[in-house]
Each structure stands twice: as structure tokens, then as C-alpha cells.
Amino acid sequence: MTTVALWIGVALIGGVGAVCRFVVDKRVQQRVSRPFPVGTLVVNISGAWLLGFIGGLALSPHVALLAGTAFVGAYTTFSTWMLETQRLGEERQMWPAAANIVISMALGLAAAWLGQTMGAAL
């Protein structure tokens, strides 16, 4: 049963996840000044690990919703990843665009598996 408190929790925790995404992305991009979207890559890979970890913990449905859907869902960003890849393509940077897709998929799957394995071990 979904309660008002749960909806408020999703909104608040989702907001925290979005702010964390912004902070991590900007800090990484400041340290690695390249046209390749390293900040988004770091956010999405760490988010894949975290969601795998949360999934491995076998939490209650409400806690999983708050941690997984609210926080990690707001923290990670499929749309930004796709937009940045599309922009690389527009700039005729085909190798970086392809690398962004391949690296994100490979590392994301590995991170999710690792997180789930670690979470299940607890």
C-alpha cells in the first residue's frame, strides 16, 4: 500500500539523488577536462553498482523503492548519457560516441553484477 509518507519520501530522497548526481558530475568534469562525458560515466557506473548492491540486500519493498527507485533513479541518468552520445555524434566524434556506449554498457553491467554480489554476501 502506497502512503502519503512514502510519496513524500520518494520526492525528498529523489531530490537528494538528483543533487548528488549534479555534484558528482560537476566535480568529475572539473578534474577531467575532456570533451568525453566522464562525469556522466562515473555517475552511471556508480549508480549501477549501488542499485545492484541494493538489489542484493533483499530489502523490504518500501525501502527498496526509496533507495533504488527514488535515490538511484534520480542519481543516474540515461537521458543525459544518450544526449551526450548524440552530441558527440553531431560533432563527428564517432569513436568517442561509440566508446561512450560500449564503455558505459560494459562497465555498467559489471558494476551492477559486482554490487549485487557484494550486497547478497552481507
Which of 63, 28, 15, 24 is CA-nearest to residue 47?
Answer: 24
Residue positions forming the annotated binding site for Na(+): 73, 76
Q: Residues 100, 81: contact at Cβ < 8 Å?
A: yes
Known binding-site residue numbers: 73, 76
Contact status, residue 72 vs residue 13, Cβ threshold 8 Å: no
